[in-house]
Each structure stands twice: as C-alpha cells, then as structure tokens.
C-alpha cells in the first residue's frame, strides 16, 4: 500500500506541477490560522483543547476517576452536544463511528455520567428562588424548581421538586391551591431529573434520559419507565395549602409508597384514583373547549391517560392501567366539512355504516399478509359525526362496540352494518 501511495504522488508531481504548488501554498497558509487561546490547531482546523472541555462544571481528573478516559472524552466532544457551551438539557449524538479501541459500553457509561452532570448544572442555572408570598402571580402552564425541606451544603437531587402551575384548561387559571402541583424532580427509573414541558401538544412531565412520561394532573406514569412494583406508579408529591394572602405552604409529608411516595421509587395510585383524575381531565376539557364533543373517560376497556389539545385537533390516549401494555389513541378534529370517501378499490379496507355515518376501518391489522409483527399491528378507524375521528387500537370488535356506545348512543350495536370489504 505504501509503494502505491508514493507512485501516485510521483505521477501527480511530474504531470501536474502547478497543482502541486497550489497544494503546497494552501498547506503553508493553514499553518497561520489564528485560533482562540482555548483551541489548538489540528489538521488545519481549530479544535478545542481537551483541558477546556468542561472548565466551569467539572474537571478532567474527576471524569477520569469515573472511568472517562481521554479517547472517550474526545469522541464525546466530537460526536455529541454534551460539551457544548449552550447545552440545553436535550442530548443528541451524531452518526460518527466509534474509533478503534473504544466500545459502545464505554461510551454510554461516560456519556451518562456527563449527561447527569450537565443536566444538574442546567437545572441549577434555570432554577429561580420562588417568592412564596406572591405565588399566585406565577403564570399558568409554567414550572419552577425548588428544594424541600431546603438545600443543605450539598444540594441533594432527592430534595429537588417541581412546582407546577397547571395549564389553564386543567384549572391553572384558578387563584387557589387547586391550580398547583408539587412533584419530586427525581425520575423513578434512573438517576435523571425530570422536567415539565409546557409546549402545545405536550404539557406533561418527561424524563429526558430514558423517555419516561408522567401526566401533570397527578404525576401518574403513562409511558416508558421501569416498574418496581405491580401498583400503578406516580411521582412522589408534596401536599400544598394556601392562605388568604396567597402564601403557599408545604404540609409535612410522609414519604411512604402509599402516601406521599418515596423519592426515586414512586408513589402507588389505585385504579379508582386514576379514574377520578381522568374524569377531572374530561370535565376540565369540556369547560374550556365547549365546542368539542364529550370525551369518554373510558373507552374499549381502557382508562383515559391524557388529553392533549393542539391547534385544530385534540389527541386523547387511553391506557391499560396498571399494566400499560395496551393503549388506544384517538384524534378528534375540528374540520367538519366533507364525508368519509368511499374508495372500494383500496385493499384491506372495510366500510361500515350506522345511521347516516360511514365508518372506514383500515390499518396494518387488516392485512393478513403484513410483515409487521403481531404485537405492532393495529386497526385505524375513521368517521365523521360533526367532528372527524381517527381511532387506533387492537381489538376490532371491542373498538366498534365502544364507538357505537360512546358516539352513537341512540343506536344499538346491531344497527351497524357492513357496506363493503376488500379484506382478503
């Protein structure tokens, strides 16, 4: 290979002398690149010096003792945003292959350590001192971090809590204690810190590391975390009271699984509590969005887990509490024009009718020859009855019966009849 390399270079020098001079000229100019003092010149580029990776929130010696050697740190610096000055608690990794001698396990272990440190610094910088005497001035659909019972010399993440003022449609506009929630900021499935996302189409608590999701109304876990008990799990919480002057107080908690919960472990919720809080969500949604049709608290055997209002539609999710294995997603839209199109040539589609409404049933579960794994096959049901509905789930008969019971109560299930089918 070396012989071939030098032969090629020799030919290029002989035949393209001017090009060689150009290349030499370019190389000579690269030497004089003016880099910031924190950077060094490597292959004609200014590259941050390793000792500058984390000057304000850690030191390399500390990371080294935790198993982060220089090759790992160099790769993390090149392939992720964990060392970015403006790190915003959202971690990403570029598609850069691992260098020789570095394993995926070594990378993931070090990246997790750095992510936890960066997240802690980010939250500390974002945290504001809460003026408990003017707590009612806190905007709806917002959150602040605070320590309870108060930070000691070393601020313990197990004492970090979130004070959340609910979105307006959940009652956040009320100037009383019902507008507020206080949850532990410590995730129940890993060492990470969770945070509240107020964005339209989100409005929930999320773990940025493992992806666990919790609904804000009661802190109930709805997606993604490791379960440490068979009970329905929620974030630990603090009970709040408010006086006539707007002062907010924390009632002395009992950190047991069945009361305020255990930080880092969770809090047990009964199915009755889940149903009651889900009913509160549907009632609050109906008050704030009176033009929408009624949202059922239970559907096809599942209990409502969250309602997510968006600009022109609302997404409603139902969950198989406490197992959380099965789910149903329903989208209710406000665009009411038109009717369900009848395309009898589309394969694996059924059209049903009840009254004047046509119901279209499709989805991967209708295709018996689908390569999709059985566990991921679902039915997609669409119809328009003043609003348009898209419902996705697994049990077709149960879905059809629930649609008739919830949206066409004036009819019996036997009134639903098949119009056309292209299912083989």
Q: What residues does 196 pair with on adjacent strands?
A: 205
Residue 153 neighbours by CB distance under 10 Å: 5
CATH of 127-276, one of 2.102.10.10, 3.40.50.2000, 3.40.50.1820, 3.40.50.1370: 2.102.10.10
Best CA proximity match to 273, nearest among 219, 213, 204, 327: 219
The label of the residue with tokens 């649609």 reads: 403
Q: Residue 70 region, left (φ>0) first, then alpha (ψ -120 to 50), else beta? A: alpha
Nearest to 210 by CA among 194, 199, 222, 229: 194
| CA pair distance 37, 16, nearest whole angstrom | 38
Q: What letter does residue 93 receive in the DSSP assignment?
A: B
Distance CA 10, CA 2 (A): 12
| pLDDT at position 10 | 36
As annotated, the residues of the chain forming the CATH 2.102.10.10 domain(s) are 127-276
> For residue 310, what pLDDT is reported?
84
Report how far residue 369's alpha carbon sits from residue 364's, in angstroms, rounded to the nearest whole number: 9
Give the integer Cα–Cα distance in Å for 196 and 55: 29
Tens place of pLDDT for every residue, the chain, 424 residues?
Answer: 433 333 333 333 333 334 333 333 334 444 445 666 666 766 666 666 766 777 667 777 788 888 888 888 888 888 888 887 767 666 777 767 888 888 888 888 888 888 877 777 766 655 444 555 566 678 999 999 988 887 655 677 888 999 999 999 999 999 889 999 999 999 887 778 999 999 888 899 998 887 889 999 999 998 875 554 445 689 999 999 887 777 888 899 999 989 999 998 889 989 999 999 999 999 999 999 998 888 999 998 899 999 998 878 899 999 988 776 788 999 998 765 445 566 767 888 999 999 999 999 998 888 877 777 776 788 999 998 778 899 998 888 989 999 999 999 999 999 999 999 998 7
Q: Which pTM was predicted?
A: 0.66
Residue 6 pLDDT: 35
Q: What is the DSSP string of 199-213?
A: -TTT-EEE-TTT--E
């Amino acid at each position: 290979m070396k012989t071939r390399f030098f032969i090629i270079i020799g030919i290029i020098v002989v035949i393209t002398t001017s090009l060689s001079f150009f290349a030499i000229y370019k190389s000579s100019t690269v030497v004089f690149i003016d880099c910031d003092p924190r950077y060094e010149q490597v292959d004609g580029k200014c590259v941050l010096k390793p000792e500058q990776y984390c000057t304000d929130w850690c030191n390399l010696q500390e990371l080294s003792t935790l198993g982060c050697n220089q090759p790992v740190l160099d790769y993390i610096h090149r392939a992720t945003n964990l060392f970015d000055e403006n790190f915003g608690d959202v971690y990403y990794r570029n598609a850069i292959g691992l260098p020789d001698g570095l394993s995926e396990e070594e990378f993931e272990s070090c990246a997790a350590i750095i992510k936890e440190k960066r997240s802690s610094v980010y939250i500390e910088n974002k945290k504001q001192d809460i003026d408990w005497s003017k707590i009612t001035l806190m905007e709806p659909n917002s959150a602040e971090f605070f320590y309870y019972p108060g930070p000691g010399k070393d601020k313990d993440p197990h004492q970090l809590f979130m004070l959340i003022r609910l979105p307006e449609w959940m009652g956040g506009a009320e100037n009383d204690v019902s507008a507020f929630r206080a949850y532990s900021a410590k995730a129940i499935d890993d060492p990470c810190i969770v945070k509240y996302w107020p964005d339209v189409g989100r409005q929930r608590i999320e773990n940025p590391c493992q992806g666990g999701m919790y609904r804000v109304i009661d802190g109930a876990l709805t997606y993604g975390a490791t379960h440490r008990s068979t009970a329905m799990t929620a974030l630990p919480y603090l009970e709040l009271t408010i006086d006539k002057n707007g002062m907010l107080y924390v009632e002395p908690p009992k950190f047991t699984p069945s009361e305020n919960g255990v930080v880092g472990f969770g809090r047990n919720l009964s199915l009755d509590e889940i149903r009651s809080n889900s009913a509160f969500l549907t009632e609050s949604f109906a008050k704030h969005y009176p033009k929408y049709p009624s949202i059922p608290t239970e559907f096809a055997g599942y209990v409502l887990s969250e309602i997510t209002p968006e600009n022109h539609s609302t997404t409603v999710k139902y969950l198989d509490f406490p197992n959380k294995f099965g789910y149903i997603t329903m989208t209710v839209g406000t665009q009411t024009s038109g009717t369900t199109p009848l395309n009898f040539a589309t394969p694996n589609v059924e059209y049903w009718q009840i009254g004047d409404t046509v119901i279209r049933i499709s989805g991967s579960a209708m295709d018996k020859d689908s390569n999709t794994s059985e566990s991921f096959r679902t039915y997609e049901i669409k119809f328009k009855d003043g609003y348009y509905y898209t419902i996705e789930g697994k049990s077709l008969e149960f879905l059809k019966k629930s649609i008739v019971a919830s949206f066409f109560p004036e009819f019996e299930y036997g009134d639903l009849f098949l119009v056309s089918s292209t299912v083989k």
